[in-house]
Amino acid sequence: MLFFTQCFGAVLDLIHLRFQHYKAKRVFSAAGQLVCVVNPTHSLKYAPTRCAAAQTSVEQGVLPPCHHHEAVHDPQLVPCTCPLFSCPWEGHLEVVVSHLRQTHRINILQGAEIVFLATDMHLPAPTDWIIMHSCLGHQFLLVLRKQEKYEGHPQFFATMMLIGTPTQADNFTYRLELNRNQRRLKWEATPRSVLECVDSVISDGDCLVLNTSLAQLFSDNGSLAIGIAISTSKVHNAEAEM
């Protein structure tokens, strides 16, 4: 009986996921956009990343403790960019994508325009929805986070990070779009580099920010569809023509 119950629950979850994917494809198929259904990563105890902890220590005038094996540190090494995980990994930018895919099982979707369908928006904060987007010869990391910036008032923060340097990030523009019930909301900006940390981008508010009531206006049965488009920067194009 227990085995049957567990199997039946797994089948229901699969049917629910396929139904959400079908609804999203039906809504966005006319625009020819690829749909990626993203399940949440929920942590009961939020563990700040090492880059965020280091930034806090610098702001407080306290240097982070040095360990004997970190006495000589390669400045080209990047800490793990996956939020909600206290991951000790670090490596070069060239291997960040393989680390995120193999260790954290983050999906990657290709295409100039895609739809990011985040499920289970009702889960308590902190919660993250993460995918990688391969476009224009580069990889981008899209992070949607539910977080209480003020106690008792959760908000949603969505940002796009380039897995590359800040100079490379300046060459692109990304657009996030919510469109439902004759309402449309757009956010357009230059992506930040993963070298700058997702936590600092969210704390600065340099991203798409939604309060709970606004997110509910654009959600459908607990899922939020965000259209994503990436293009080369107009400034970059103008400089290339000159």
- CATH number where 109 lies: 2.60.210.10
What does the DSSP assignment read for 30-58? GGT-EEEEE--EE-SS----HHHHHHHHH
Domain assignment present for 51: no
**Whose CA is closest to 138, among 84, 85, 186, 174?**
174
How much of the chain, in percent, has pLDDT values that exceed 90? 38
Domain assignment present for residue 60? The answer is no
* CB atoms near residue 213 (< 10 Å): 7
**Residue range(s) defining the domain that contains residue 212:** 32-38+76-232
> What's the number of domains the chain is made of?
1
**155 part of a folded domain:** yes
In a domain, 89, yes or no: yes
The token duo for 210 is 């939604």
Compute the distance between CA of residue 101 and CA of residue 106 in angstroms, rounded to an integer.
Answer: 5
Summarize pLDDT for 159-217 with one digit per residue, the tens. 999 999 999 999 999 999 999 988 999 999 999 998 888 888 988 889 999 999 999 99
| pLDDT (average), residues 130-136 | 91
Q: How confident is the model at residue 78, as a pLDDT?
A: 80
Q: Is residue 132 part of a domain?
A: yes
The CA distance from 37 to 201, in Å, is: 24
With tokens 């956010």, the residue in question is 187
Pairing of strands 90-91, 208-211: unpaired
Residue 2 falls inside a structural domain:
no
Q: What's the pTM?
A: 0.72
* pLDDT, tens only, 28-74: 443 445 788 888 876 534 444 445 444 443 344 433 333 333 434 45
The rounded distance, in Å, linking the Cα atoms of 202 and 148 is: 11
Is the residue at 213 inside a domain?
Answer: yes
Helices (H) and strands (E) in the chain, counts: 7, 15
Inside any domain, residue 65:
no
| H or E element, residue 138 | strand 138-150
Question: What is the rounded average pLDDT for all residues in the chain?
Answer: 76
Q: Could you tell me which residue, 150 or 7, shows the higher pLDDT?
A: 150
* CA nearest neighbour of 188 among 202, 178, 198, 203: 178
- pLDDT greater at residue 63 or residue 15: 15
Whether 43 contacts 84, CB under 8 Å: yes
